[in-house]
Amino acid sequence: MNIIESLSHTLGISREQIAETVRLIDSGASVPFIARYRKEVTGNLDDQTIRILSEKLSALRALFERKNDVKRLISEQGSMTDELSASIEACASLNEVEDIYRPFRPKRRTRAMIAREKGLEGFARLILAGDSDMADLEKSAQEYIDTDKGVNDTGDVLAGANDIIAEEISDDALLRKRLRTLMINTGMIRSSAKKKEQSVYEMYYDYSEPVKAAAGHRVLAIDRGEKEGFLSVKVVIDEEVALHITYEHFIRDLRLRKEACRELVRSACKDSWKRLVEPSLQTEIRNILTEDAQDKAIVIFSLNLKNILMQAPVRNKVVLGFDPAYRTGCKLAVVDATGMCLDTIVIYPHEPHNRKAESEKIVCDLVNKYKVEVIAVGNGTASGESERFVAEIVKKLGGVLAYCIVNEAGASVYSASELGAKEFPDLDVSFRSAVSIARRLQDPLAELVKIDPRSIGVGQYQHDMEQKKLAMSLQGVVEDCVNTVGVELNSASPSLLSYVAGIGPQVAANIVEWREANGRFTSRRELLKVKKLGPATYEQCAGFLRISDSVEFYDRTAVHPESYSAVRKMLELLGGPEPSMAKELAERYGLNRLASDTGIGTHTLTDILEAIAKPGRDPRGDDFEMISGDKPMDIKELSEGMILQGTVRNVSAFGAFVDIGVHQDGLVHISELADRFVRDPHTVVSAGQRVMIRVLSVDIQRKRISLSMKNM
């Protein structure tokens, strides 16, 4: 089966769709461009499917490349056969390929290698021939004694032969596959306390569950507990079954007529399992579990990140960013509707200063001076007290002001970054955080792209994952979000531009440099004047860049320049209506007929009609919601049965963490998410969503809050 057929079989997509999509990927086309502007070519595959296809394509190519490498390496040793080549070609995973290559792989000096150097290979073959009784074997063993080589007696001869046979057993690819399958299907992953101290891993001090049912978040927790020295972890199976399979498999083609030979081979099988196979498969199975758990965690992280990035922006409002703190004071930054910082100041309303009246006056003065409409309060240290303080001011001002709690994860990373210093060279690091908090409310996507996605705080165990794979996945999420929303060419930051399809950091910097030197872009075609932005890059990026005041109407939309002439022809066929009326007229004309008459594919035509109907539409919506100040703001103020509103901060495989404004997120377990059975929490909630919850229990000492969304 070739790569195209394999992908088609795995993904359930036709070979033609796979082949065309692979061709586009290989030509250098980005996923957003393929998904948006090549729908007729791919058969309308969405961006997520194309990313999965691209990942599996890379994995299959790596597998095929490794197969060829292994065949070459074995051939160079003069050991390749037609049967061996066919076996390698039939492998469906890298593990299977490595199992076949195992006997041929250069090894460090093993016990079997040393035994062969001592000349004991012949005696091992004598045992495997199976025709000798013990007396004959002991007699033959005398011939292999060589004190110069360290073979001093028949015991040394038997031990060396055992080592050779044990290694041959260990190197049997089919046997390893059977035992690996046994461990996966019947094994139990078991953890126990390595040091009995109070820790977050206490539930795993005496814990086990089937390997094939092991939940990813528990696997990652066990891995971390083991790494930190709290847990001992092992995959446990029925050893008698493993030994039976080993012995039965290895001797099936042998004719061991003599009991002495059978016993020696049984002994070698047991030694091989204990010393070579079982430890090796332990590592393999643990790696399989960890890799699978990480992949699932990355999917969850990606979903959470997408939901956070795609939160509705708060448009055209002056915002006061409020970065809470105790001793060092709360940092304030007023940001105008375009994101420009107008003013900064520090106030000290909390312990140990308690300058509340003075702080209140400063905030009110800022609100009045700059006509502040919303206060964005960070959810970090002292957020509860700060929210109470702000809520009181909002009430006193009688409805001219609102406030909102903003997740400030990563704000400190941005404030201390090179980018933060470049954007605000005259601002103290602490004030940059306040500016970032305000801007996150105004446009979450535009602000959060300035931060490493891993610092946004919507994943679990991210530091334990393969960082390259995690970074690539999250990079793809940000890229998809940015291109789904589109980017205003004349105001976008280099960070935002760098995620536009085909652009990257260097070209993004060049776009901003051109903009600063020549003024605003007046048309998309002017992009071709930017250094290092040639026709190929232009094709990739142009459709995702908007110029809201361009004289060319289609530059304001998601219509790609390659379609402009076809769209004009379409409007002529429809009688020259205003673009906003085209969709209704096109439906009367008939979409299939119109697609044929204009040469535009049906999928692309549908997208074009949507784009020109509402050129300024933001797919993130406009559902910004303010918060009432009349609620608990400390964990000590919570009580069982309270009904509260909160914000989902993180969604995991076992539930959702909800911020209810008491500085400690509560957990809505998966069993409490709905009045029905929930298999996947993401089908009920998403990061950034506002939800109504009921308090089930509060453990103040352990800072644990249990919540429910049932009957809400």
- Threshold 0.85, pTM exceeds: no
Report the interhelical angle of 47-76 vs 467-485 (nearest 10°): 150
What CATH number belongs to 3-104?
1.10.10.650
Q: Which distant-in-sequence residues (6+ apart) come within 8 Å of 143 by Cβ?
A: none
The CATH 1.10.10.650 domain(s) of the chain lie at 3-104
> Contact, 666 vs 658, CB < 8 A?
yes
Cα separation, 481 vs 487, in Å, equals 11
The CATH 2.40.50.140 domain(s) of the chain lie at 635-708
- Other C-beta atoms lying within 10 Å of the C-beta of residue 131: 12
* 281, pLDDT greater than 70: yes
> Contact, 676 vs 238, CB < 8 A?
no
Q: What is the DSSP string of 414-429?
A: HHTSHHHHHH-TTS-H
Backbone angles phi, psi at 332, to 5 degrees: -115, 145
Cα separation, 573 vs 522, in Å, equals 28
Residue 19: what pLDDT? 96
Assign 627 a pLDDT band (cuts: 50, 70, 90). Answer: low
**595-618 confidence digits (pLDDT tens):** 999 999 999 999 999 999 888 788
**32-52 confidence digits (pLDDT tens):** 999 999 999 999 999 999 999
* 708, pLDDT greater than 60: yes
- At the topology level, CATH places domain 319-442 in Nucleotidyltransferase; domain 5 (3.30.420)
Over residues 120-129, the mean pLDDT reads: 94
Could you tell me which residues are beta bridge partners of residue 374? 319, 402
Strand extents, DSSP E, 167-257? 188-193, 206-210, 231-236
Task: Identify the H or E element spanning 342.
Answer: strand 341-347
Residue 623: what pLDDT? 57
Task: Identify the H or E element spanning 669.
Answer: strand 666-669
Q: Tell me which range, 214-218, 301-305, 525-529, is most confidently predicted by mean pLDDT.
A: 525-529
| Domain made up of 111-302: CATH architecture | Orthogonal Bundle (1.10)
**258-270 confidence digits (pLDDT tens):** 899 999 999 999 9
Q: In the chain, what percentage of residues exceed pLDDT 90?
A: 71
Cα separation, 191 vs 195, in Å, equals 12
Distance of CA 332 to the CA centre of its chain: 34
> Contact, 33 vs 501, CB < 8 A?
yes
- At the topology level, CATH places domain 635-708 in OB fold (Dihydrolipoamide Acetyltransferase, E2P) (2.40.50)
Assign 328 a pLDDT band (cuts: 50, 70, 90). Answer: very high
State the average pLDDT for the chain. Answer: 91
Cα separation, 510 vs 520, in Å, equals 14
Cα separation, 266 vs 254, in Å, equals 13
Residue 628: what pLDDT? 47
Residue 664: what pLDDT? 84
* The pair of three-digit structure tokens given for residue 128, joined into one six-digit string: 């495997």
Over residues 528-557, the mean pLDDT reads: 95
**578-600 confidence digits (pLDDT tens):** 888 898 899 999 999 999 999 99
| Strand 188-193 to 231-236 pairing | antiparallel
Q: 45-69 burial, b if ≥16 CB within 10 A, otherwise e? A: bebebbbebbebbeebeebeebbee
Pick the closest to residue 21 from 6, 2, 36, 38 (CA basis).
38
